[in-house]
Structure 1
Amino acid sequence: MLGKRIWKNGEINGDDYAEFKSVFGFDGGNLTLFITADTEYAVFLNGKFVYAGQYADFPWYKVRDEIDLTAFAKKGENELNIQVWYQGDENFCHYVASPYLAFSVVRDGKTLDKSDENTLSRSLPVFVSGLKKNITSQIGYSFKADFSRGEEEFTPSKVVGPSPETVKRPIKRLDVLPEKPAERIGNGIYDLGEETVGFPFLEFEAEEGKEITVSFGERLENGRVPRIIGDRDFSFSLVGNGKRVRFCNYLRKFGLRYFEVENAKILKIGLIPVVYPFKEKKLSFGSPLRDRIYSVAKKTLLLNAFEHYTDCPWREQGFYALDSRLQMLYGYSAFENAEYQRGALALMSEDRNATGLISIVVPSSSKLVIPSFSLFYIIAMEEYAANTGDNRLIEDYFGKIESVADVFFKRIENGLIPLFTDENSWNFYEWNEGLSNEGFFDKEPLKEKFDAVLNLNAAMAFRSLSKICERLNKTEKAKTYAETAEKLNGRVNEEFYDEKSGIYKATKGDGKFYELVNAYAVLSGAAKGGRAREICEKLADKRSGAVECTLSMLSFKYDALLKTDREKYAGYVLSDMDGKFGYMLSEGATSFWETIKGGADFDGAGSLCHGWSALPAYYYPLLLGK
């Protein structure tokens, strides 16, 4: 179906841009483009933009798009142009493989054109290849477009491999919306009015050879867009040619609200928004504040749905197992269908980290893992089946689910799972002192061999795996995993429950009252009956002196309270959400923040749009009967 894998001539390097051109005849009918590339592509037919955005994938799980070209075609000769950006180096959004493009153009089942050695190619004009200037280590490279340079001639492409084996994109393609210009609000400052995700575009004039810097961000600081934050550089650059230039980079999606531009006459600047075509549920809760919070929560989910879930569109764009599990859960309430969750879980299931766990983000070549996040992969798989009634996914990937669980099962020592001590395992739980284990990056040795958090989290995951086995009629395995969960709970009760204070400690040496640890104790079943009720009294007591759950883990606190006594705590959960999320709105939020500290957190790098903070999209419908 697809043609051969091809690339432009010359040395292969990371951060490389290529353009491919092919001409074919057309005399009517239905015209379809089949295409896959590494890393991103943008398609133009007869000079008109068609679509952009390769589905993030792995070399062994290559995804193709099937794009209807009929509306862009004309009878006679048609010119197909395809731009490709090859990332080529490790970050949190890309699995490093070799660059290529493969395509075919098909009319009613007959191939009219396909990629091969006759396809013409060259370095993509304007774009500077090999720049390798990071925005962040997670997102990877920025870009530079130089309009003062000449263009290379097209030459025949080189074949770099046979036709790839592919699967059809498992979800819908993103909708590309009309351009959204930003409004000039100050000297060089432009405002989109709200957090937006899309392709950056500009119309500008600058002297020939003059380089201009375009900074972008989610907030202003002293009237400027914060560009340099630590080792991060939120900017891209353009070089003028003395003329008016219209430019759009269809190979990069950015999340932002503000632009700042230096040294140029800006005629227009903004984003061409992209959005996943979810079918949204339209709900009202009889309260203007709650309706607004619910709407912004759904928008926060939408802004973090690219080809897969992202944690935050501005700073990272990473597909984490914990973050996405929360986004999936909230999405079951906010949207009508679940094909997006299914596609995301299938992609995550294709990960092949050498540890047997799920990589810190997917897809990527990173060796790093967060062990607790792999447990949420198991939980998310069970929740997908429970929410959709579809057992095919858990059946298709049961081997993967069980192999992840087996990593923890085989580590059990004296009834508990020890912390992971290898150089690639970060024992992170949430952004609280005592639970983030940031000393990992400074290679600080762990102070304890065991903790309560990992074991309670594992007990929750083994219960989920037991339910998966029940769904698949694996009765004996279901029993084994349920017993494993109960045994872990028993050992946690023996080692980490403090009778005097009535709380679960994170470790034997840390007696602080962590809301997350104790919420896990309730949810895992370690704390039952009167003990669970006592813990929930403390969780709901603002005078308890607890180390509170951050927005990332607040749902576990809410779930523990509602599991123990829904009637008693529903009002507390609603009031708490009204307060926290209403506060963000009062501070001008157009999407919900990574933490309640907003942009000031993480030394000024806190995101103002984070998928895990869309809780109201789930809890308002749950508790208000919608």
Structure 2
Amino acid sequence: MWLLAFFSIVLFSNQIAAQQWKGKWIGLASQDTNLTNIWAGFRKDFNIDRLPKQAIAKIAVDSKYWLYVNDKLVVFEGGLKRGPNPSDTYYDEVDISKHLKKGSNTIAIKVWYFGKHGFSHHSSGKLGLLFDLQSEKFELYSDNSWLVKRLVEYQSAPGKEPNFRLPESNILYDARLGNQGWYSSEGKLTSFEPAIEHGAFGSAPWNKLVKRPIPLWKDFGLKAFRSQDIVRKGDTIICKLPYNMQFTPYFDIEANAGDSIHIVTDNYLYYNGSAENLRAAYIAKNGRQQYESLGWINGHMLYVIVPEHVKINQLMFRETGYDTEFTGFFECSDPFFNTLWQKAARTLYITMRDTYMDCPDRERAQWTGDVVLEAQEAFYTLDPSSHALARKWLYELIGWQKADGVLFSPVPAGNWDKELPDQALASIGYYGIWMYYMHTGDKQVLQDLYPAIQKYISLWEKDKEGLVLLREGGWQWGDWGEHKDMLLLYNLWYYLALKGSYLMADEMGYKEDMHRIGAEMKQFKQTFNQRFWNGTAYRNPSYSGKTDDRVHALAVLADIADKNKYDLILDVFSKQEHASPYMEKYVFEAMYKMRQPGLANARHKKRFAEMVNNPNFTTLFEGWGIGKDGYGGGTINHAWSGGGLTIMSSEVCGIKPLEPGYKTFSVTPQLGDLSFAKAKVSSIKGEIESAITQSANQMTVTFNVPKGTTAVFELPLKEYTSILINGVPVDDAIQKGKIAVRNSDGQWILPEGKWEIKISI
């Protein structure tokens, strides 16, 4: 049994179209539901007497579609993988008004039905299309007047199939069978037949329709490979891409009928995460021909394997991805951290599409602990359009909650339902939903999801002193690697979940919950320290492994560890290095919280040296190495390794929201051994830029405070001889009311405007 109604009826009720749908679900006359990788072409010819100013088409499919209007490709890969919950389906809205014309018009839709479950998709079990356009001037909706044909030229490539985590299939296109002009107004209507109606809006197996909560993909357009980036070795052509990207390959060739062409990337051949991933194939017709393989793949290199007699006229690629911009920025005096930031940003972007992903090749799965890190990286890297993907993650996490309250990931999924307790706690707590709220100010998310979060928290059993027991869940994972003090990890993630709930309850005015949770946190901290602090480190008395550095990072970040323990915890960090790249971010952050930026940077450089300094990759690895030297199969593009990006912007340059939506934010720089650093963050209040330089006798900090916001500047030095704020001594600035003192520890409140603070040492 599943908890469905709360998510689809209440949470997304504002996104389910109020307008009465007239379109019918339509499909092929006959479909074997056991078949996978089915392609169909739908077509409707119609007349328009008066052109509408706006013509919004609502389009729903299982699983993907390409929309043509009057021969023009209007949507390249529409549709989102199912689903918002285990029953329902997403739909798109597309304004096609500018593509219509007076008189005769043609709409054609190519539909790709995966036909199987995966770690990112819940198959409905039936290919279907619903199209509904109701404008002031005319209406057009799917019914049995539409024509449809099975696109038999699309098949599954022979050989190994993709591993079970991927719902997509390897696409083979047989050009001998294809009629590439079927979608054209001039195309012949060969093999078409009337579509079969499967039911109205709300019909099973697609059920309720939820409006797509993220933008349609950004299409970078077809781009030719540069000649210097193409090498041909016999039957293999190797093309170097500008960077690791999501792309679809295109070629223009002259070949003989029956010539076979195979398309793979280096991520398929060499860096596949120890699992069969996606590839493509093509069977040529006779003569000159062009083809674009529509199932996106990724990698640094494209390999096209062709018979040697085939003439290659042109090789191209089309990058597509989440529609956002790289508006964030970071640069400092250490080239290592500049490269880390750039590789982390690239890795982040390649793991964004229908959902946040762990990797774009082996799984494409929304492991919720990964997303905690990815979403925070996005706040510092991308423009606010990226926030919608994090919002979608949170709603889907709750939308898939089981009736007994259990949360699991990845979701959406059709062949996985195991709970990872630590990842679930991270997502519903301080670093998950609360961090999202601080960056976005999206209070609706708190109000909608808080009840389900409390239901999950209530599942955790406690001992008589209030600490949680080791929850079995579906997978007691904790982290990749060894020496995991699991009971302590679970307790600390639980405490951070309580902290998130406490802050949410306070924000929403739930005073009774706030007092209850606050009392539990107070007792928890006392008991945790009494039971697990042995005088030199935190350890479960029954744990026999090496001291866990992850535990100490979470204890610092949760404020479980008081400052009088910091020196001993730093000793742990100097001797113990067990965290994977996933958890190393928390170690890095904890050391900054302890005001040890130099030591933090040194550890991070040591641990990430191999992947950051590797010149062959533009992205970061899943583990410390590749393949057998990595974790979980060792992919080369795992955004959980990019947590250092967040630390560079939020801790080195010190830009963090203090109130939801950046109403108040901090500028608390910690350069450590760096001589300069600068950052830009695209907050929802506007762009915030900060630059810091330091020498032996002076530090200068410049930053701007956007309109409608307030900054809290925290003095990064304890010893100084003088301070000038915009050229005025600090005491004069305070006396004249230009700034205000927040507290006696060197924190000042600065209103909107541009600021320069010079500190003489």
TM norm structure 2: 0.72
Q: 1:487 and 1:147, CA in 2 relative to 1: closer, same or farther beyond 3 A?
A: farther
Residue aligning to 1:19: 41
Q: 1:307 and 1:376, CA in 2 relative to 1: closer, same or farther beyond 3 A?
A: same
Q: 1:227 and 1:22, CA in 2 relative to 1: closer, same or farther beyond 3 A?
A: farther
177-186 or 455-464, which moves further after superposition?
Answer: 177-186
The 2-side partners of 1:103 and 1:116 are apart by 9
Aligned mate of 1:341, from 380, 384, 390 = 390
Task: Please tell me whether residue 305 in structure 1 is matched to residue 352 in structure 2.
Answer: yes
Residue aligning to 1:474: 510
The 2-side partners of 1:91 and 1:399 are apart by 29
The 1-side partners of 2:553 and 2:256 are apart by 60
The 1-side partners of 2:508 and 2:140 are apart by 45
CA contact (8 A) 1:38 1:86 kept: yes
Residue aligning to 1:96: 123
Residue aligning to 2:417: 367
TM norm structure 1: 0.87
SS at 2:162 equivalent = strand
Residue aligning to 2:263: 214
Residue aligning to 2:239: 190
The superposition leaves residues 275-307 of structure 1 with CA deviations (integer Å, 9 ceiling, x where unpaired) of: 323243353534372444433322222222213
The 2-side partners of 1:150 and 1:129 are apart by 15
Residue aligning to 1:54: 79
SS at 1:311 equivalent = coil
The 2-side partners of 1:620 and 1:104 are apart by 47
- How far is 1:378 from its partner? 0.7
- How far is 1:382 from its partner? 1.3
Report the AA paired with residue 510 of structure 2: K
CA contact (8 A) 1:206 1:263 kept: no
Report the AA paired with residue 374 of structure 1: A
CA contact (8 A) 2:157 2:281 kept: no
The 2-side partners of 1:206 and 1:603 are apart by 43
Residue aligning to 1:390: 442
CA contact (8 A) 1:180 1:192 kept: no
The 2-side partners of 1:270 and 1:37 are apart by 28
Report the AA paired with residue 293 of structure 2: N
Q: 1:186 and 1:489, CA in 2 relative to 1: closer, same or farther beyond 3 A?
A: farther
Task: Please tell me whether residue 558 in structure 1 is matched to residue 609 in structure 2.
Answer: no
SS at 2:155 equivalent = coil
Please, what is the CA RMSD of the aligned residues?
2.9
Report the AA paired with residue 507 of structure 2: R
Residue aligning to 1:5: 25
Q: 1:360 and 1:343, CA in 2 relative to 1: closer, same or farther beyond 3 A?
A: closer
Report the AA paired with residue 62 of structure 2: D
Task: Please tell me whether residue 587 in structure 1 is matched to residue 617 in structure 2.
Answer: no
Task: Please tell me whether residue 78 in structure 1 is matched to residue 98 in structure 2.
Answer: no
The 2-side partners of 1:506 and 1:134 are apart by 45
Aligned mate of 1:263, from 306, 309, 329 = 306
412-421 or 166-175, which moves further after superposition?
Answer: 412-421
Q: 1:198 and 1:231, CA in 2 relative to 1: closer, same or farther beyond 3 A?
A: closer
1:20-419 equivalence runs, <5 A: 20-26=42-48, 27-29=50-52, 30-51=54-75, 52-56=77-81, 57-58=83-84, 60-99=87-126, 100-106=128-134, 108-128=135-155, 134-140=161-167, 141-149=169-177, 153-164=191-202, 165-182=208-225, 183-187=229-233, 188=236, 189-218=238-267, 225-226=269-270, 230-250=274-294, 252-264=295-307, 265=310, 266-287=312-333, 289=335, 290-337=337-384, 338-353=387-402, 356-365=405-414, 366-379=416-429, 380-408=432-460, 410=461, 415-419=466-470
- How far is 1:172 from its partner? 2.1
11-20 or 314-323, which moves further after superposition?
Answer: 11-20
CA contact (8 A) 2:328 2:382 kept: no
1:409-558 equivalence runs, <5 A: 410=461, 415-421=466-472, 425-435=474-484, 451-499=487-535, 502-505=536-539, 508-539=542-573, 541=574, 544=575, 546-558=576-588
The 2-side partners of 1:88 and 1:532 are apart by 54
- How far is 1:191 from its partner? 1.6
Residue aligning to 2:722: none
- How far is 1:487 from its partner? 4.2
- How far is 1:42 from its partner? 1.3
The 2-side partners of 1:307 and 1:153 are apart by 33
Gaps of 5+ in 1: 220-224, 436-447
- How far is 1:113 from its partner? 1.6
SS at 1:149 equivalent = coil
CA contact (8 A) 1:357 1:374 kept: no
- How far is 1:598 from its partner? 3.4
Bigger radius of gyration = 2
Q: 1:249 and 1:291, CA in 2 relative to 1: closer, same or farther beyond 3 A?
A: same
Q: 1:124 and 1:358, CA in 2 relative to 1: closer, same or farther beyond 3 A?
A: farther
- How far is 1:609 from its partner? 1.8
The 2-side partners of 1:75 and 1:582 are apart by 62
The superposition leaves residues 538-586 of structure 1 with CA deviations (integer Å, 9 ceiling, x where unpaired) of: 21x2xx1x143221111111222223x22xx122333444555565343
Report the AA paired with residue 146 of structure 1: D
The superposition leaves residues 295-338 of structure 1 with CA deviations (integer Å, 9 ceiling, x where unpaired) of: 33222222222132112112221112111111111222223423
Gaps of 5+ in 2: 1-20, 180-189, 203-207, 654-668, 670-689, 691-761
The 2-side partners of 1:204 and 1:580 are apart by 46
* Percent of paired sites with the same residue: 21
CA contact (8 A) 2:589 2:647 kept: no
The 2-side partners of 1:230 and 1:562 are apart by 36
Q: 1:89 and 1:482, CA in 2 relative to 1: closer, same or farther beyond 3 A?
A: farther
- How far is 1:114 from its partner? 0.9
SS at 1:614 equivalent = helix
The 2-side partners of 1:370 and 1:350 are apart by 16
CA contact (8 A) 2:151 2:178 kept: no
- How far is 1:263 from its partner? 3.2
Q: 1:578 and 1:68, CA in 2 relative to 1: closer, same or farther beyond 3 A?
A: farther
- How far is 1:92 from its partner? 0.6
The 2-side partners of 1:341 and 1:262 are apart by 39
The superposition leaves residues 148-196 of structure 1 with CA deviations (integer Å, 9 ceiling, x where unpaired) of: 3366711111222212443332222221111234432342222213101
CA contact (8 A) 2:255 2:285 kept: yes
Report the AA paired with residue 350 of structure 2: L
- How far is 1:394 from its partner? 0.7
CA contact (8 A) 1:18 1:121 kept: yes
The 1-side partners of 2:468 and 2:210 are apart by 38
The 2-side partners of 1:355 and 1:149 are apart by 51
